[in-house]
Amino acid sequence: MLALVLTVGLGDVEVASDELWTLGVVAVEERSGVAPGSVELWTSLGDDVSSVTSSLEGLGHLWSWRFETVDERVSETWRDHATVTWISDDLFVRPAWLKGAAPDVDGVQAISIEPGATFGMGDHPTTVLSLRALRAVMSPGATVLDVGCGSGILAIAACLFGATHVRAIDISPAAVPTTVDNAERNNVSERITVSTTPLAEVDEHFDVVVANILAPALIDLADDLTRALSPSGSLVISGILAERHQHVLDALAPLRVVDRADLDGWTAITLAR
Ligand SMILES: C[S@@+](CC[C@H](N)C(=O)[O-])C[C@H]1O[C@@H](n2cnc3c(N)ncnc32)[C@H](O)[C@@H]1O
């Protein structure tokens, strides 16, 4: 399989890792000592060279990068360390290969995820925040648009929270089969449709729109996110830094902020008309 290797300055390690997470990687390994003052970040965005290249063009910074062919078994060692993530007292996300990793207790729901080459194990703060914010705005029978569905985790959660129909889209082709598989795994496939349809071509309106994507993408998509929202709908955004998000809100004006929560330096914001 193809590893993606970014070479960044020591001072850029954190911001580069953050940007990689929001692009959809599931693990990042730091390797120092390659060249003075720089660090290599080894990760993977799948084996489709053109889609990885276009994802990298969306990064907020220009770092040098290359592909390396690696042994799949080595690149999969993160799986041995994956654990359950609790979202609330009654909801947790479980790596699909960890059977029985959390107690089977009445009233507790589990979302089981096999991420493949997509983002969305449920352990990243932006996903945790998005899941909580999504739950807060859901009402039974709501329709939902999940923009940047990755593993499908938010679309699946929306079904557990009562959605009758969820449309899930992502620019990454890998997200489509992964979301389909995860929807089946969680018994909600009849309520989810998934595609790589660009948001600009989605012409329905939804009670809830959720988008856990990098700030530059949210800004690019701002008009279409607003257009896809029904008149009384809620927009949940994440993938943005708690310290720096006003430029995203400016792009989404006149939508107004109705709720916000932060976790580990990230923020999720709920907006409405
Ligand atoms: C941070 S991941 C979120 C995955 C999952 N929704 C979650 O919350 O864990 C962001 C996803 O957005 C996708 N993405 C980035 N730009 C996009 C765009 N313009 N339209 C649709 N999807 C996009 C990426 O491919 C990636 O799968």
Is 115's C-beta closer than 6 angstroms to any atom of ligand 1?
no
The pLDDT value recorded for residue 72 is: 72
Q: How much is the pLDDT for 103?
A: 66
What is the rounded CA–CA span in Å between residue 271 and residue 200? Answer: 20
Q: Whose CA is nearest to atom 9 of ligand 1?
A: 120
Q: Where does the chain have alpha helices with state H?
A: 13-23, 49-57, 72-75, 125-137, 153-160, 175-185, 215-227, 246-252
What are the C-alpha distances in Å from 239 to residues 42, 140, 269? Answer: 21, 26, 10
| 238 Cβ closer than 6 Å to some ligand 1 atom | no
DSSP state, residue 78: G
CA distance 253 to 85: 34
Distance between CA 109 and CA 31 in Å, rounded? 38
Is 149 close to ligand 1, i.e. is its CB under 6 Å away? yes
Q: What is the best residue among 21, 172, 218, 248 to mutate for testing ligand 1's pocket, by most ligand atoms within 8 Å of CB?
A: 172
Give residue 169's pLDDT: 98
pLDDT value at 48 more than 80: yes
Residue whose CB lies within 8 A of the most ligand 1 atoms, among 130, 171, 201, for a mutation test: 171
- CATH numbers and ranges of domains, the chain: 2-78 (3.30.70), 118-272 (3.40.50.150)
Weakest mean pLDDT among 21-25, 74-78, 149-153, 204-208: 74-78
pLDDT digits 0-9 by tens, 19-41: 887 777 777 888 887 778 899 99
0.85 exceeded by pTM: no
Partners of 237 in the beta sheet?
Answer: 211, 269
Give the pairing of strands 64-69 and 256-263: unpaired
pLDDT on residue 22: 72
Instruction: Taking residues 224-238, report their average pLDDT.
Output: 98
pLDDT score of 52 more than 90: no
CB 230 within 8 A of CB 141: no
Determine contact, residues 178/199, Cβ cutoff 8 Å: no
Instruction: Please tell me if the CB atom of residue 150 comes closer than 6 angstroms to any atom of ligand 1.
Output: yes
Å from CA of 107 to ligand 1 middle: 30
For the stretch 169-210, pLDDT in tens is 998 888 999 999 999 999 999 999 999 999 999 999 999 999
Q: What is the mean pLDDT of residues 86-94?
A: 95
CA of 72 to the centre of ligand 1 (A): 24
Q: Is the pLDDT of residue 114 over 70?
A: yes
State how far the Cα of 77 lies from the Cα of 83, in Å rounded to an integer.
13
Q: What is the pLDDT at residue 47?
A: 82
CA distance 262 to 188: 29
268 pocket-lining for ligand 1 (C-beta < 6 Å): no
CA 70 to centroid of ligand 1, rounded, Å: 25
Query: Does residue 74 surpass a pLDDT of 70?
Result: no
Query: What's the alpha-carbon Rg for the chain, to the nearest Å?
Result: 18
- Give me the count of residues in the chain: 273
